[in-house]
Amino acid sequence: MCDVLVALPAASAIGATLFAKNSDRPPTERQVVEWSPARRDSGPLRATHLEVPAHPHATLACVLSRPAWGWGAEHGVNEAGVAIGNTTVFTTLDPRGAMVGLTGMDLVRLALERAASAAAAVDTITEMIARFGQGGSGHDPLLVPHGRPYWNAFLVADPTTAFVIDTSGGEWAVEAVTGVRAISNRTTIPAFDAAHRHPRQPVDQLVNPRWLASQQVLTQQPVSVEALAAHLRSHDMFGAEGWSVCMHVEGVEATTASMIAALRPDGASEIWALTGHPCEREYTQFAFSEARDHDLVNV
């Protein structure tokens, strides 16, 4: 479960793209925020379940929020001001029958490391899906020993543009954002949603209340960092108990990390990040250019 929001500069109170995400994961899973420096890979790169060829160029430096057990990232920001977050989606295609491939978190990190714009990140994600597929569990094998594979939606943003990607296995659709946008745990591009969303997915109780709450926040323009932080901490119960934006479903799912970013070019982005429940902790604020000098792991 996850909720992701974006407000492009014209809808933002600070004249920069605002990106925000709550990452909802197994309650006992630890997430870390870390600096990932630029590098050159001399050989294949090992993602969660398989190897992918090395990028022919140097990767981009990133701030990543990821489960401590895994390679991929739930969300993050790179030095070019690109931010990406993914959400779990379920469709008429059962992910349990898929071949092992890249997880949604792998795709987030690969695109952050390789793409200097939101459009390039869309290309990276879709090309990687076409080449390697999605597949394999996105959960710690010690916590979920039988695995839990899933498909993904992505919200990709940079200082001037943003895109939504909906997927189902090897199929996808892309939609440009105009102004503001929110995604949650369902496909949201209308034609793709009509064709692929599973009819028995309990979106009315578990997803739509959070998605609609995010959309409501984005109507209160100009959108501010403070409004996004308040939303990511919120427990408004319009659906099933505990399945709020700041999630508390005992033994099942909880918010384990949260991030807000003001996306600016040339490494000047600003980040507010925390791990754990947003309702219980304060965000740590830092400039992207200062991130390498911060102790980010337990923000």
In this structure, what token pair is assigned to residue 214? 């995010």
Phi, psi of 298 (to 5 degrees): -120, 40
Is residue 2 within 8 A of residue 254, CB to CB? The reply is no
Residues 6 or more apart in contact with residue 10 via CB below 8 angstroms: 179
Hey, which residues are catalytic here?
Answer: 2
Half-sphere exposure at residue 266, Cβ-oriented, CA atoms within 13 angstroms: 0
Residues 6 or more apart in contact with residue 269 via CB below 8 angstroms: 77, 81, 83, 261, 262, 263, 287, 288
What's residue 297's pLDDT? 64
Q: What pTM, to 2 d.p., does this model score?
A: 0.96
pLDDT per residue of the chain (299 residues) written in tens, 0 to 9: 899 999 999 999 999 999 999 999 999 999 999 999 999 999 999 999 999 999 999 999 999 999 999 999 999 999 999 999 999 999 999 998 888 999 999 999 999 999 999 999 999 999 999 999 999 888 877 777 777 899 999 999 999 999 999 999 999 999 999 999 999 999 999 999 999 998 888 888 889 999 999 999 999 999 999 999 999 999 976 667 788 999 999 888 999 999 999 999 888 999 999 999 999 999 999 999 989 877 776 67
Architecture field, domain 2-293: 4-Layer Sandwich (3.60)
Q: Give me the residue spans of the domains in the chain.
A: 2-293
